[in-house]
Chains A and B, each alone.
Chain A
């Protein structure tokens, strides 16, 4: 192959972005700038340098490629030829909502539409959809539609899901269209969307459970996971903030109480606390088992959240407290305006870790409690006589669903971190 002359690039590289602008764009250092050559040359060079640098390296690359190829081929063969996905498509309602009454199914769809619209509005207000976000929505949407559209009677659930996605883009469009320059309007918009987000969980619970023939015990299948985890996470943060402040308090009675709460709750596994919900809380607070499970989830998560927030409080430079004091803020103002915003920002990464952890721990309610969530209903699906040989398919499906949600949580939190500038200040 003949050596091609370097093609002059028509435009100059953009200047390094100003601080605060989009941080994702990679700015090449000057010595790399020089090396810009045609794409084919660069690819060849990259391949030689990274994959085949020496005999040993080449060998390793070939072995790794062989293993990875075998895995990929295996997965493709399993997914498209070996697996019998009928266990999933046949049982999609069982897996999704289980015993939720059919005539009340609109509650599920309205809730989903509301949540999707709010996600869209939040993206439109504080961020924007990138190409990868659209791709994620497209892939997940396609996956869900593929599952739900199987069989004629399910066509409406597909339509409802599409409407929900439509609501998301509508919320996004409305909020992104709002002018960002006018600061009063923007503040107003942020307050409205923020307020809606704050009340979204109670709102969804009201839509799902108030009136009609439905009660907490009808929460079943994937819907149960989708309710339990947010209740645990939001309840945990709501409990965690006062607990963290209380533990750091100089009043010993308060700090001892909070410390005792945190240490006692953290000292036993969630499994144990679920047993408490099953056999002890029954006589103490009564109520539906699902409500008790929600309480335990929130109480348990609260102890961890409190510790993450306390860690953040301690990480704040002493000067922040002193400066706030110096300008004459009261204790409450100082906490609300100076300390908490910074502490919460610092504690986002560990709190998201805890959130993902509690999301996966929602499966424990089937292990310990007589409640059936997604994994439990997958167990029931493979107990259907004709599907007893198809357990791998059912578990793979459940794993993918859990991964999708955990991944979405991780990505949204990255967005929030970036918007809040975590790790940059």
Chain B
């Protein structure tokens, strides 16, 4: 082959480059202009909404606007997760697989733990099959909300704290809290530390990139002391603390308790009574999907209500066959005497959804006992029932007591 002259070759390559650049430009342009249009529309609509707050139509429009791109991309309606889940026949539950007690895997590879029971309960309620769950690994804290927003999971149940900024800024809505905890501190008993005011210049092991880190920084600013943070993943900082590489370990008090109680030298450590933050852990669903959020909410409330009125996994079938009172009948979706079934508006999942959830995993207290048990004390903590049954009344100290309180089914 005869090579063309140098100038000719330069010309050819220049033209090729130009062509490639033009094509690339056209492609990128097409994509971005599309997005710009959408963004402009969205902004316009937000302004509209702000101007006409009394018109719910604007909100509906915006919901459609947000739902539209996803629907175009994959043909899945985004605004209606219940329909999506029922059409698919499985619930995609985003769970953590590395959190002791809450979300981990057993030796046979099954995903298990406290959070996972709620996945099963919701699958039983919505799909009539507690095993119709596809567990998607959302162990990585940094991509968990993305997985939810992107539609790769239907619900996120992985020890996620409700915070105002997450609720407002991210595409996530939180349902009823399933577990209340707060940030605490663990120290060695012989360290002489009794509260954070003894921690001047102490080295503190703290998980990075979480609310935990911000809380401890804010707390020490407030009390005007310096400290040395040692950061890392939660299991790594815990190991660092137990190997004596820092004086203090800070994390959710429940996490601290579960990591200490299992150790042979558990008696050498103590958890300070001081709690510096609120960490309500709740299931998350996508924004703009109230029906789905409502169902999740009422499943959790139903499990708590079942504990309040003594419906258990063992007696739920008998209760449903012969309900002792109208409330039990309402909750389980069965007629009382010759009356009619009260659907309570849950037509989309049918009236017996709570009954199926209880039959699958038991009531809230049963889930707690089975999955957490003695590892984290429940009596007199926030996770106890707000109104203990008279027969199980526990003497709690002043300021102690539970706040698990089910909303009425009527």
Contacts and interface: CB of A to CB of B under 8 A. Distances in A.
Central interface residue in A220, A260, A381, A389, by most chain B CB within 10 Å: A389
Interface in B255-288: 258-259, 262-264
A221 B138 CA distance: 16
Contacts of A282: 74, 150, 152
A384 B146 contact: no
B259 A252 contact: no
Contacts of A376: 97, 137, 139
Given A94-B105, A94-B107, A370-B147, A380 B97 contact: yes
Given A250-B1, A279-B150, A391-B235, A97 B109 contact: yes
B368 interface: no
Interface string A74-96: 00000000000000001111100
Contacts of B74: 282-283, 286
B55 to A, nearest CB: 33
Interface in A272-295: 278-279, 282-283, 286
Contacts of A99: 109-111
A383 B152 contact: no
Given A94-B106, A252-B16, A389-B262, A372 B100 contact: no
Contacts of B99: 383
Most buried by B among A282, A366, A372: A372
A11 interface: no
A383 B107 contact: no
B167 interface: no
A389 B105 contact: no
Nearest to B239: A391
Interface in B44-75: 73-74
Contacts of A286: 74
A389 B242 contact: yes
A249 to B, nearest CB: 11
Contacts of B94: 370
A282 B134 CA distance: 17
Contacts of B101: 385
B107 A385 contact: no
Contact of A377 (B16, B105, B264): B105
B97 A383 contact: yes
Contacts of A386: 262
B261 to A, nearest CB: 9
A123 interface: no
Contact of B235 (A91, A253, A382): A382
A385 B109 contact: no
B108 interface: yes
A131 interface: no
Contacts of B134: 217
A91 B73 CA distance: 40
A417 interface: no
7 contacts: A91-B107, A98-B109, A282-B150, A383-B98, A383-B100, A384-B104, A388-B235
Interface of B: 1, 12-13, 16-17, 20, 73-74, 94, 97-101, 103-111, 134, 136-140, 143, 146-147, 150, 152, 235, 238-239, 242, 258-259, 262-264, 375
Given A91-B107, A379-B97, A385-B375, 13 more contacts: A92-B107, A94-B105, A94-B109, A282-B74, A366-B137, A370-B94, A370-B138, A370-B152, A371-B137, A377-B109, A383-B103, A388-B258, A389-B242
